[in-house]
Amino acid sequence: MKIRIVATFCLFFSLNQNCVSASTPLEKKPLIVKVGVVHFPPYIELEDNGKIGGIVMELLDYMNSIQSSYKFKPVHTSSMRKIRDFNNHSFDVGFFDNLKWGWDKTAVDASQVYMRGKEIYIAKKKQGRNEHYFDDFTGKSMVGMLGYHYSFANFNSDAAYLRKNYNMQTSTSNEGSIKMILHGRGDIAIVSDAFLHRYFTMHPETRAKILISNKVDQHYLLSAIVRKNIRPSVQEINDLLAKFKQSEQFKSMQKRYGITP
């Protein structure tokens, strides 16, 4: 009798466990999506201590918070090696990018444009210097970011080419480019309007020292670059970006960073 009771209990317990297992399947872990991040303030900021800041981290945190299928994780790269790192599968997605900036259209898709910006020319203010100073770059020393693609140079980012043809001095940051101009280590620099807006907010005393041209090097349309035939698809990225642009967080960022959607 005792043996029968024990056997009955074991059978009941076993069946009950099977029911629980059937009704509560194991939760799927999110797919890790590696996102290449290139120093591009204020959109992407890579600090000396390895910390990543700027708009990109707010974007990734937002996308991770509104869905559970993917976890977007940043991967350090640079403007000089991003194509090589992409080809080596170090990352699969890049934000705040543009197909014109070195990408092979057969290997990647581009999301819808979700942000706009422009690169502008600046120089140090001097007596008698005005907008006409930017009419001709001949004989002037240009300052730009290492590895960046500029319209005035036909989007050729080769440092040797830029030195030879445009007497280009390179910097590793927009702030560095501005400081080079202020200290007389170059004549004309190309910087993003969004970064200059924030720089003047943080250093208002420099506004009176810098001449800003009405001439624009390039208007750029920022998209996400997505490897073909992966998950998430470019359409899924578009959907996430659309939600981000409708969020209160995005509206707050527009004011803080002076960005144009």
pLDDT of 219-247, one tens digit each? 989 999 999 999 999 999 999 999 999 99
Between CA 102 and CA 200 the distance in angstroms is 31
pTM score, two decimals?
0.78
| pLDDT of amino acid 26 | 59
pLDDT tier at 255, thresholds 50, 70, 90: confident
Domains of the chain, by residue range, sit at 31-116+220-257, 118-219
Q: Phi then psi for 217, rounded to 5 degrees?
A: -70, -50
pLDDT-based confidence at residue 259 (cuts at 50, 70, 90): confident
Domain 118-219: CATH superfamily is Periplasmic binding protein-like II (3.40.190.10)
Q: What pLDDT score does 113 carry? A: 95
Per-residue pLDDT tens digits for 4-61: 444 444 444 444 444 444 444 556 899 999 999 999 988 999 887 889 999 999 999 9
Position with higher pLDDT, 23 vs 158: 158
CATH 1.10.150.120 is held by the domain 31-116+220-257:
no
Distances (CA, A) of 226 to 59, 64, 93, 233: 16, 17, 5, 8
Q: Is residue 122 pLDDT above 90, yes or no?
A: yes
